[in-house]
Structures are given as structure tokens and as C-alpha cells.
Structure 1
Amino acid sequence: MPPYSPELNPCEQVWQYKKKRFKNKFFETIQDLKEWLHKTVNEMTPDIIKSITSNHRYLNAF
């Protein structure tokens, strides 16, 4: 794997998915932010994670 390749790293893809939903949100406190993040992470089903991390580069290689 190249030294810096976030498009190939499944964790980076999940964070990118989260960041898109985080944009333009305003939280009154850090606790509100933590609760939102906790809630949204817990709502992620295995199917959602698979759809986020499935990468055509991997699929084409195999």
C-alpha cells in the first residue's frame, strides 16, 4: 500500500462518511457533539459499513 492512501483505508472512508454528515452542524457543547457522534456511530449497521468501505479497487483486484 502506498505511504498515504486514505482511499484504500477503510477507517478513513468511514470517517469521511461521518464528516459529510457533520458539516454545517452546530453543537452547543462538547457533550452534545459527543452524544451526536455516539448516536450516529451506533446507528451504523454492518450493511452501511460494508457499503462505505467496499472499494472498486479491491473488487477489481479480485
Structure 2
Amino acid sequence: MLPEEQSYSVRSENYRYILYFNGKEELYNHNEDPYEWKNLESIKKYAKIKLELKNQLYHLLNKDK
């Protein structure tokens, strides 16, 4: 697998954010959904959490936006 085809994930105390190489995103609340059945990525209520975790991920990858 090429580096540009890597997918990444970052975890906070309550949430996990996943960014796939094709741009697809997923967000899960591990307190309410420990088995990651319900993707919260497109729910407006979670937009701020998603953005915070996405920024954290980019920072960890040294790709600050």
C-alpha cells in the first residue's frame, strides 16, 4: 500500500475519528456505541467534535490545515 493510500484514526476519551485515504470520514461515540455501529460523521450536532479530532489528526501527521 502506498503512503497516500493510508487511512488514519485518532481517539479521544469518548470519540474515535477515522479519515480514509479516499476522503471518507467516520466518527463514533464509544460511550454510547462501543462497537462502532452508528457513524456520526454527517450529524450536524457532532460537527465541532469531528473538526477538533480532524485537526488533531492533521497536527499529529504534521499536516496542519
TM-score class, shorter-chain normalisation, is: 0.3 to 0.5
TM-score of the superposed pair, with normalisation by structure 1: 0.39
Could you state the TM-score of these two structures normalised by the residue count of structure 2? 0.38
Q: Hey, which of these two has a bigger chunk of helix by percent?
A: 1
Greater C-alpha radius of gyration: 1
Q: Relative contact order: is structure 1 or structure 2 higher (C-alpha 8 Å, sep ≥ 6)?
A: 1
Whose strand fraction is larger, Structure 1's or Structure 2's?
2
